[in-house]
């Protein structure tokens, strides 16, 4: 376990760079050269400079996950395995397909919560009066869960 406790901009930037590349804070804090999670949370609570770069890293992480969604969805390389009654037929590997769906859904949920204006669900409500005049227009971000 690391004994890093003093805040430095260099350390903060290293953490944020890894977050922006999709790594979890939990995993980052397991590294020997990184502070523990409690220390990072303390830095966030007390340091506006770190708050700003951390917030940007989380938004960048949402974009990273959105890019990964496309890669996962397009990768069919493990969708079929050898099997079936003849043991030489190609059959759908439903476990892999379901795992891919879970990976996509997880990334969609995280991206929507990290960057809701870009990736969150939006509903547009519109209405027109009897003469066609515009009555209502609203955009609402919908978030399920906390």
Encode pLDDT of 96-143 as tens digits: 999 999 999 999 999 999 999 999 887 766 676 677 676 655 555 554
Q: Token pair of 142, please? A: 């919908």
Average pLDDT over residues 62-90: 90
The closest alpha carbon to 35, from 60, 9, 3, 65, belongs to 3
Q: Are 139 and 123 in contact (CB under 8 A)?
A: yes
Quote the pTM value.
Answer: 0.73
DSSP per position, the chain: -----S--HHHHHHHHHHHHTT--HHHHHTSTTS--HHHHHHHHHH-HHHHHHHHHHHHHHHHHHHHHHHHHHH--TTSEEEESTTSSEEEE-HHHHHHHHHHHHHHHHHHHHHSHHHHSEEEEEEEE-TTS-EEEEEEEEE----
Q: In the prediction, which pLDDT does 56 show?
A: 97
- Rounded Cα distance, 21 and 14, in Å: 11
- Rounded Cα distance, 142 and 110, in Å: 14
Q: Are 40 and 25 in contact (CB under 8 A)?
A: yes
């Amino acid at each position: 376990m690391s004994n890093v406790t003093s805040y430095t901009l260099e350390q903060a930037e290293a953490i944020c760079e890894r977050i922006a590349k999709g790594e979890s804070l939990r995993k980052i804090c397991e590294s020997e050269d990184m502070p523990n999670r409690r220390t990072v949370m303390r830095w966030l609570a007390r340091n506006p400079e770190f708050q700003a770069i951390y917030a940007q890293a989380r938004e960048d992480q949402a974009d990273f996950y959105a890019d990964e969604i496309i890669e996962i969805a397009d990768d069919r390389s493990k969708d079929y395995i050898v099997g079936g009654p003849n043991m030489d037929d190609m059959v759908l590997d439903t476990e892999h397909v379901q795992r891919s769906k879970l990976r996509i859904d997880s990334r969609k949920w995280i991206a929507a919560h990290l960057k809701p204006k870009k990736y969150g669900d939006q509903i547009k409500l519109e209405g027109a009066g009897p003469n066609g005049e515009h009555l209502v227009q609203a955009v609402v971000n919908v978030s399920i869960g906390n």
